[in-house]
Amino acid sequence: MTRTTLTALLLGTSILGTASMAFAQDKTITIESWRNDDLPIWNEKLIPAFEKAHPGIKVVFAPSAPTEYNAALNAKLDAGSAGDLITCRPFDASLELFSKGHLASLNDLAGMENFSDVAKSAWQTDDGSTTFCVPMASVIHGFIYNKDAFDQLGIAAPATEAEFFAALDKIKADGTFIPMAMGTKDLWEAATMGYQNIGPNYWKGEEGRLALIKGDQKLTDPAWVEPYATLAKWKDYLGDGFEAQSYPDSQNLFTLGRAAIYPAGSWEISGFNTQAQFKMGAFPPPVKAAGDTCYISDHTDIAIGLNAKSPNADAAKTFLTWVASPEFATIYANALPGFFSLSSTPVAMEDPLAQEFVSWREKCKPTIRSTYQILSRGTPNLENETWVESANVINGTDTPQVAAEKLQKGLDSWYKPAK
């Protein structure tokens, strides 16, 4: 070997070595998500905070349209072109991804100790032995109201159902405002902001939800029928033409100041803050009688997992450990008021409406939506059927008892509880 050849080889090795070191130090990881509305928050707050603390790892947030996310993600995963990190929906959709080998186990990830078993439950195997996504946030159900309207009419935030309907009657009699902004056209509103909002006070949150899964309770039991009876009474307060009113219509009626109360999920806070020109308040689902234990749907909503075939797994795990940290929880919860941290470390909320929602954790028992875990895996899908029947009850086309019987019959057709 000549000296020239040796020099060339050594130079080549040096260049390759330098390039290899640069590659090792400068990884780019990509996040798949359905939350396209959050792009500015990721690009302006979350990613800069991470990259500042972790030089050499670049992060790209690459969301899809919410309605297209599941199909687009599955296609990418099957083709091997999905990003390194996968934003996880709660329960069955993500469990299916794990079962297919698309999501890696995160049992040994540093930072997972920052979450309770309840916080992790939406992204675990049924037996709880494996967790495959880092919990990011939950959303809380309740009611947002127009404080100016309440002050004008001399109404206080109701705590009991009697006070709630008395307030609605007073608003209706005055005629200035539609008492409550909710439509039944899109179906899911009636279930998510209606039945799943007030229902936990009847079926006692986790007690009833787990009993339903075990087969110890049925949807035809009083605890599951009674909230439909209450929901049926909403019809008189939703304004003319509510049957043809879409979800965006409901949002607009409230933010334009035409409706006094909005049955809500806390995810509305950011949008309402920018659109409403009046003061807002919030109250939890009213209890049946003063002194009753209150329950809230504090629904595990969003998490993030590792693509099992990520070529940048080490860098992605570094990012996931940061997502599990109190620093991420504080930035995320305050950048997106209404999406509440699931970390065991309390997060101080800067937004007063968000603080009102999260304060209910101190006085009410939390649960999640009754249809999300296990009970919507078959056909008919209990979640989707609950949308239909909740709308039917409010519209008056089904009685509460008939709605409950239809739902239980559908569930019985495929679900056999393991005793």
Whole-angstrom distance, CA of residue 406 vs CA of residue 367 = 24
pLDDT at 51 over 90: yes
Q: At 21, is the pLDDT very low, low, confident or very high (cuts 50, 70, 90)?
A: very low
pLDDT the model gives residue 346 = 85
Number of C-beta neighbours around residue 65 at 10 A: 9
Res. 19: pLDDT tops 50: no
If you average pLDDT over residues 52-67, what whole number do you get? 95
* pLDDT tens string 151-181: 999 999 999 999 999 999 999 999 999 999 9
Rg (CA), the chain: 24
Which pLDDT score is estimated for 25? Answer: 61
Q: At what angle do helices 222-232 and 382-395 cross, to 10 degrees?
A: 40
pLDDT of residue 7: 46
The two tokens of residue 71 are 């199909």
Residues 6+ apart with CB under 8 A from 181: 238, 239, 250, 251, 253, 254, 258, 259, 261, 262
Are the C-beta atoms of 155 and 167 separated by less than 8 Å? Answer: yes
pLDDT above 80 for 14: no
C-alpha span between 333 and 316 (Å, rounded): 21
Tokens read off for 105: 């186990």
Q: What is the pLDDT of residue 418?
A: 67
**Per-residue confidence (pLDDT) for residue 61, from 0 to 100:** 98
Which amino acid belongs to residue 179?
Answer: P
Distance of CA 380 to the CA centre of its chain: 23
Nearest-angstrom CA–CA distance, 33 and 82: 11
What's the average model confidence in pLDDT over 269-280? Answer: 96
What pLDDT is stored for residue 16 in this prediction? Answer: 42
Out of 103-112, 305-314, 357-366, 392-401, least confident range: 357-366
Strand, helix or coil at 131?
Answer: strand
- pLDDT tens digits, residue range 202-253? 999 999 999 999 999 999 999 999 999 999 999 999 999 999 999 999 999 9
Render the burial of 239-264: b for 16+ CB within 10 Å, e for the rest.
Answer: beebeebebebbbebbbeeebbbbbb
Q: Residue 291: which of 158, 167, 159, 169 has the closest Cα?
A: 159
3-class DSSP assignment, residue 174? helix
Q: Mean pLDDT, to the nearest integer, of 291-314?
A: 97
Query: CA 232 from chain center: how many Å?
Result: 26
- Hey, what are 121's tokens? 């439950």
Judge whether 205 and 369 are in contact, CB under 8 Å. Answer: no
Separation in Å, CA 19 to CA 10, 24, 28, 59 = 14, 9, 15, 20
Chain centroid to Cα 24, Å, comes to 36
Q: Say how far apart CA 322 and CA 301 lie, in whole Å.
A: 19
- Band (pLDDT 50/70/90 cuts) for residue 116 is confident
Contact 281/144 with Cβ under 8 angstroms?
A: yes
Q: Write down the pLDDT at residue 419.
A: 53
How high is the mean pLDDT of the chain?
93
Alpha-carbon distance of 282 to 284, in angstroms, equals 7
Q: Taking a C-beta distance cutoff of 8 angstroms, is the pair 297, 12 a contact?
A: no
CB atoms within 10 A of CB 174: 14
